[in-house]
Chains A and B, each alone.
Chain A
Amino acid sequence: MQNRIQELRKARKVTQQELADALRVTRQTIISLENGKYNASLTLAHKAAQFFGITIEELFVFEGDENL
Chain B
Amino acid sequence: MTMEEYRKKLTFRQRLAICMCLAAPSSTWLIRSLAGEVTEYARGLLAGVLVSGILIGAFVAARMTVLLKNEDKLREQYIKATDERNQAISRETSRAACLILLVALYLGIIVSAFFSITVSLTLFCVLQVFALAVFGSFFYYKGKM
A-side residues, CB < 8 A to B, are: 20, 24-26, 28-29, 32, 38, 40-41, 43-44
> Which B residues are in CB contact (< 8 Å) with A28?
85
Is A25 a contact of B79 with CB atoms below 8 Å?
yes
Verify if B88 is at the interface (C-beta below 8 Å from A).
yes
Asked whether B85 lies within 8 Å of A32 as measured between CB atoms, the reply is: yes
Give min CB distance, A30 to chain B, whole Å. 9
Q: How many A-B residue pairs have CB under 8 A?
A: 24
B residues sitting closer than 8 Å to A (CB atoms) are: 79-80, 82-86, 88
> A29–B80 Cα gap in the complex (Å)?
10
B85 adjacent to A29 (CB under 8 Å): yes
Question: Contact check: which of A24, A32, A40 meets B82 at CB < 8 Å?
Answer: A24
User: From residue A67, how far is it (CB to closest CB) to chain B in Å?
Assistant: 23
Nearest CB in chain A to that of B3: its residue: A24
In the complex, are the beta carbons of A26 and B88 less than 8 A apart? no
**Interface pairs A-B: 7 shortest CB-CB:** A29-B85, A26-B83, A25-B83, A41-B84, A38-B85, A29-B83, A24-B79
Task: State the Cβ distance, B64 to closest chain A Cβ, in Å.
Answer: 21
Please give, as numbers and ranges, the residues of chain A lying within 8 Å of B85 by CB-CB distance.
Answer: 25-26, 28-29, 32, 38
**A44 partner, pick from B80, B84, B86, beta carbons under 8 A:** B84
Residues from chain A with Cβ under 8 Å of B83 in the complex: 25-26, 29
Nearest CB on B from A29, distance (A):
4
The 14 listed contacts between A and B (C-beta, < 8 Å) are A24-B82, A25-B79, A25-B83, A25-B84, A26-B80, A26-B83, A26-B85, A26-B86, A28-B85, A29-B85, A29-B86, A38-B88, A41-B84, A44-B84
